[in-house]
Amino acid sequence: MKKNRIIYGTIIVLLMTIVSCAPGIMRKTENTAMPDTYTGSEDTTNSATIKWRDFFKDEHLAALIDTALKNNQELNIVMQEIEILNYEVGARKGEYLPFVDVGTAVGAEKVGRYTSQGANDANTEIMPDKEFPEPLGDFYLGANMSWEIDVWKKLRNAKKAAFTRYLSSIEGRNFLITQLVAEIAENYYELLALDNQLEIVNSYIDIQQNALNTVKQQKLFAKVTELAVKKFEAELLKTKSLQFTIQQSIVEAENRINFLIGRFPQPIARSSNQFLDLKWDSIYTGIPSQLLANRPDIRQAELELVASKIDVDVARAAFYPSIRITAGLGYQAFNPKYLITTPESLLFNLAGDLVAPVINRNAIKAAYFTSNAKQTQAVYAYERSILNAHIEVINQLSKINNYGSSYALREQQVEVLTESVTIAGSLFKSARADYMEVLLTQRDALESKMELVETKQEQMHAIVNLYKALGGGWR
């Protein structure tokens, strides 16, 4: 007897040794090294921690963002995906707990007399002086339990991976919010810029109409030809055409915002302040390492990496033996009145099994190597998100500086050309400048003012995108 136990124990140990040998792999580790500063400053003050409501102080813009956070379809789709992942966590949690089911069954059976079972039943008394009833009833009431003992933490790790992905999805939602807030702000400032450009065009229509009237008077006195009149008329028509182009751009910009906030086309309420007079408080970038905590997309990639590492552990556990316990307890009788007779109708069972893969483990190996490859992918995705975030900040910082310098020079250009329009008009009236000089000067002045507005718009977009790049907008 002792010898048999030794043999059985040796067999089990050998079996576990054979099947528990998972192929060896080298996990790739992530590199999170970043530059110490953006521009040499070590100030840790960071505008990313400012709530978007405090960052965007325009009440109309704040109202649009509020509406979008409630109604945007894409954001609501992501919210439902988070709910789905939450339910999956609950499902994974239930897998490593015992499964218990309670049930009842009713049946009847009539077997042939000239069969082995029929012959035995005919010669057997089910009770003293009572033959087997025909047909034979079968009534059952009981409970069954099945439990896989999670020795290798395969099921608990699967639940942990699912929960980590649930947290990752929340960060994904936060990143979508930052993008949504920034996109609404960009379109809002574009709308203000278009309003300003339309005002400029309308004012130049008046200037060009006055110039045309002057040229017509000059023609009456034979100071200019009909050609000059036609040139001024053509320039006026061109500017009027530009007016309708801008109006169309305004409609499209309004509807982009309407789409983002989840409503059908309607006018967008906006500030009546002059776009060029908009000022912005200083924006602080902090240091690059703060991106790891402030950027939702980086945190999302980090959590995906954590989940992928857990997946490797789950896949490795598939090589180990699984231990399952099954049990049942209930009553079974041929007649309902005997169903709860104890102990005659009582039945129970208890069993345990140890199952391990020995031959043809290709599927398990493939799943293991696949999970490792996905873990390596997650490392690269995490490193890529860090690199991308840093480059985005650098690009927007450069954009703010360069467009700031460009705006200062364009302001001077506008001032000079505005004066030139007045000078050209005076010289033309005194016959010291021809009509082409007047036309070209007006055209240059109009273009310079339009470009000044566009430069201001790029400045505002750069500020919004720097706030987003730093990780602001989701709080």
Q: What's the pLDDT at 425? A: 78
Helix axes 435-470 and 226-260, enclosed angle (nearest 10):
10
Residue 137 covered by a domain: no
Residue 73 covered by a domain: yes
CATH of the domain at 61: 1.20.1600.10
Q: Which domain holds residue 184?
A: 30-93+153-309+367-470
Residue 116 covered by a domain: no
Residue 100 covered by a domain: no
Q: What's the pLDDT at 16? A: 53
Q: What's the pLDDT at 3? A: 57
Tens digit of pLDDT at every position of the chain (475 positions): 555 555 555 555 555 555 555 666 677 888 888 898 988 888 899 999 999 999 998 999 999 999 999 999 999 999 999 999 888 888 888 877 888 899 898 988 888 878 887 777 777 777 777 777 778 788 888 899 888 888 888 888 888 988 999 999 999 999 999 999 999 999 999 999 999 999 999 988 888 888 888 878 877 877 778 887 888 888 889 989 999 999 999 999 999 999 999 999 999 999 877 888 888 878 899 999 999 999 999 999 999 999 999 988 888 888 888 888 999 888 888 888 877 878 878 888 988 888 777 766 788 888 888 899 999 999 999 999 999 999 999 999 999 999 999 999 999 998 998 888 888 878 777 767 677 777 788 888 888 999 999 999 999 999 999 999 999 888 8
Residue 101 covered by a domain: no
Residue 102 covered by a domain: no
Over residues 409-462, the pLDDT tens digits come to: 999 998 998 888 888 878 777 767 677 777 788 888 888 999 999 999 999 999
Q: What's the pLDDT at 242? A: 92
Residue 335 covered by a domain: no
Q: What's the pLDDT at 260? A: 94
The total number of structural domains that make up the chain: 1
Query: Which three-class secondary structure string do you get for the chain?
Result: CHHHHHHHHHHHHHHHHHHCCCCCCCCCCCCCCCCCCCCCCCCCCEHHHCCHHHHCCCHHHHHHHHHHHHHCHHHHHHHHHHHHHHHHHHHHHHHCCCEEEEEEEEEEECCCCCCHHHHHHHCCEEECCEECCCCEEEEEEEEEEEEEECCCCHHHHHHHHHHHHHHHHHHHHHHHHHHHHHHHHHHHHHHHHHHHHHHHHHHHHHHHHHHHHHHHHHHHCCCCCHHHHHHHHHHHHHHHHHHHHHHHHHHHHHHHHHHHCCCCCCCCCCCCCCHHHCCCCCCCECCHHHHHHHCHHHHHHHHHHHHHHHHHHHHHHCCCCEEEEEEEEEEEECCHHHCCCCCCCEEEEEEEEEECCCCCCHHHHHHHHHHHHHHHHHHHHHHHHHHHHHHHHHHHHHHHHHHHHHHHHHHHHHHHHHHHHHHHHHHHHCCCCCHHHHHHHHHHHHHHHHHHHHHHHHHHHHHHHHHHHHCCCCC
Residue 332 covered by a domain: no
457 and 471 in contact (C-beta within 8 Å)?
A: no
Q: What's the pLDDT at 84? A: 92
* Matching residue, tokens 């690269």: 380
